[in-house]
Amino acid sequence: MKKVPQDKTKVGRPKLNIDGEKISKWISYGATVKEIADVENCSEDHIHKVFRDKITKGKAERNMRLRKAQIELALSGNCSMLIWLGKQYLGQKDSPIVPMNMPISGVKFIDDTDGGYLEI
């Protein structure tokens, strides 16, 4: 049987009082679990075990904000962002070389890249 101290002092490490919403908010701002653990004076494992759902929520909020900012940037006329989002969401891709499918025989085509001829 366990012995309870007579003076009823608590034994062991004190309980951590960490707010889960604060963890979620920090993750959504891009903080790492290591940084949060350092600020809250606990282990990374503790944050991972106790606040797994809050970490997931924070990452989802961060991704939504980033995606919104990217789309706003693209819609404001940023060509690079328009191209990138087109590739990500619309399946667009760079196709600089278009194959020539011409059913004509006996025709010579000049290849501009090396100055040679392509004979069909």
Span 23-38, pLDDT tens digits: 999 999 999 999 999 9
User: What whole-number distance in Å separates Cα of residue 99 and Cα of residue 120?
Assistant: 14
User: What whole-number distance in Å separates Cα of residue 94 and Cα of residue 96?
Assistant: 6
- C-beta separation of 85 from 70 below 8 A: yes
Q: Which parts of the chain register pLDDT below 50? A: none
pLDDT at position 7: 64
- Residues in the chain, total: 120
pLDDT at position 95: 77
- The neighbour count for residue 99, using CB atoms within 10 Å, is 5
